[in-house]
Structure 1
């Protein structure tokens, strides 16, 4: 399907990340396959089946249309609905399983969709998956977590069950080895674990594609207000080390990450919580964290803080310039109050940061592997 020079980012299916993908320079999309992660729904304990189904309907309405608008490309996307699988009783109001509904709606709007699976699911998920495989014949993406490498015998048995029960072969499957959060690992331990995980992985050379991903971004940024922090991009540093010894790997994986996000989810209502103004900006070797104070109320300037934070980004020596990406243009326009950009919101700043990150990584991988991208994208959309 694609080789090691390809990029596989996790796109959490929220509005900020959706728009980041939509505003990505279109030729760059040919160098990536996004893994669209449908975000979880947090149900109340006392909710009945009808209420849960109605929430599910509301969450997934127009998903095919939204994916088509944001991706707007003829190449496939990976679609992960696993976050919705809270038990074996959750279905759409029509009685259809959510996996089947999501894949059908995305396909109906013209985007090839490859379902993402783990090695363990409730039976309704497997039954729905079989229907999807019969209808579209695109195979699947198998997402294996780091902890499963602790027992390779059990992992192989689990993989064989998936393959045999679904009547597939590794050649029909895109494999994603997901290390999830790696910020607590030392670089040497992380590299060793990644190396051993790859060389010992079952059917290594047979998978349709093979990707390695992780994130150094913690679930919570513990920083003082009005400071500049940074985090190393351990996931990309380790990948570059793997590239340097590619001849001894057996197979060099594609690179994947969680863009500027952590891998976890929380039941979080920003209207009820204290949220600090923050701009996350990716550079060649680190994430820069421009941190303000809480945006709640007017004591700290509210959302006006984003203007000064944007000015700090633009003045930083690692800023890539206004025309590098849509996100960089948005930062510049906020800093200089141009093109109708005011303070923005938490959502629009996540959009800008993710869009910049996607652009940067695609160009980094092109340079690392000696391939070519269509050139430096131009920021041309100012919604």
Structure 2
């Protein structure tokens, strides 16, 4: 069991609702990696509710609790308990383990004995190739031969650099992990969407390259890497961003719209100074452009059409992220399925 698309999503309300609104065919075509932002003490009823809304009783999802433990090691035993509890309630939830955490607590791998599916995230900038290969073997041994191990070679935040140079760094990881025989699927992931959009010009003229897609294509062209799957961070930069405080900040109205090789950034002025209705104007520009996919394409595209009509609401920062993520997930899963890249 493997997929062509493994989106890494900051598991906030916008992303949760975008996954919940996917139709069955699109949801079945991807494995979301949910970066959980908050854990409760004891049980996890709030997290469980969001996972159920993502149809995890029918389709799998992998949960990564590292954001709760930034700057410290994830307790592998707690991760195993949380995942195990969800699995006993009928949810197809997989654990996500970070390579550096596992290397620091190899004895903790025993908590995943018998685990059917597991995602291992390896960052080449902090895990040497030899250590990554040894760890994949150790995780496979802990899971048992029947388990399915998916390894994400995570390139993290990708700046304005040559995609071929980044691909050359990733190729040995993908090639050697694939050849190891202990890994079900190797995924190349990264995120190049800017951390903020404040520095871009106003209007509809901003086209930002999807560098992670170019890197993945270059990796797949290398010998021994043709089966690598694709992962990205949606319409978000991998680096954490401070929450928006509308009392002190003046974020701009904008739309992040995924195209074949670029994101199309439609940007207006700050909502505090120029108003929320700017967003409706951007939606009108979008839906009247030939690059718009049509209201029936995704839940997000339907909302863009709705916001373009007279008298419609302007939504919120959350719904803007929901609709951009909705379009991106549908566009990308269909793009990969059709080999249209």
Q: Same fold (TM over 0.5)?
A: yes
- Kindly state the Cα deviation for residue 143 of structure 1 after the two structures are TM-superposed: 0.6
1:356 to 312, 318, 327: 327
Distance in 2 (alpha carbons) for counterparts of 1:329 and 1:321 = 7
Distance in 1 (alpha carbons) for counterparts of 2:158 and 2:101 = 25
Q: Which residue of 2 aligns with 1:102?
A: 82
Q: Which residue of 1 aligns with 2:259?
A: 283
Q: Does the alignment pair 1:195 with 2:171?
A: yes
Name stretches of at least 5 consecutive residues in structure 2 with no aligned partner: none
Q: Do the aligned partners of 2:283 and 2:304 also contact (CA within 8 Å) in 1?
A: yes
Q: Do the aligned partners of 2:255 and 2:324 also contact (CA within 8 Å) in 1?
A: yes
Q: Do the aligned partners of 2:136 and 2:182 also contact (CA within 8 Å) in 1?
A: no
1:124-203 to 2 correspondence within 5 Å?
130-131=110-111, 133-134=112-113, 137-148=115-126, 151-163=128-140, 166=142, 168=144, 172-201=148-177, 203=179
Q: Write out per-residue CA displacement over residues 287-307 of structure 1, whole angstroms, 9 at most, x where no aligned residue.
A: 0111112222xx312x11110
1:27 to 3, 25, 36: 25
2:224 to 229, 237, 249: 249
Q: Which residue of 1 aligns with 2:308?
A: 335
Distance 1:137 1:167, change over 3 A: closer
Q: Name the TM-score, length of structure 1 as normaliser.
A: 0.78
Q: Which residue of 2 aligns with 1:82?
A: 66
Rg larger in structure: 1
Q: Which residue of 2 aligns with 1:346?
A: 317
Number of aligned residues: 339
Name stretches of at least 5 consecutive residues in structure 1 with no aligned partner: 42-54, 371-383
1:311 to 284, 289, 303: 284
Q: Do the aligned partners of 2:154 and 2:189 also contact (CA within 8 Å) in 1?
A: yes
TM-align CA RMSD: 3.2
Q: Do the aligned partners of 1:11 and 1:259 also contact (CA within 8 Å) in 2?
A: yes
1:2-17 to 2 correspondence within 5 Å?
2=2, 6-17=4-15
Q: Secondary structure at the match of 1:147?
A: coil
Q: Do the aligned partners of 2:158 and 2:211 also contact (CA within 8 Å) in 1?
A: yes
Q: Write out per-residue CA displacement over residues 267-316 of structure 1, whole angstroms, 9 at most, x where no aligned residue.
A: 324334221112100001100111112222xx312x11110011121122
Q: Do the aligned partners of 1:64 and 1:102 also contact (CA within 8 Å) in 2?
A: no
Q: Secondary structure at the match of 2:260?
A: coil
Distance in 1 (alpha carbons) for counterparts of 2:73 and 2:25 = 42
Q: Do the aligned partners of 2:178 and 2:225 also contact (CA within 8 Å) in 1?
A: no
Q: Name the TM-score, length of structure 2 as normaliser.
A: 0.86
- Kindly state the Cα deviation for residue 59 of structure 1 after the two structures are TM-superposed: 11
Q: Which residue of 2 aligns with 1:65?
A: 49
Q: Secondary structure at the match of 1:71?
A: coil
Distance in 1 (alpha carbons) for counterparts of 2:124 and 2:74 = 27
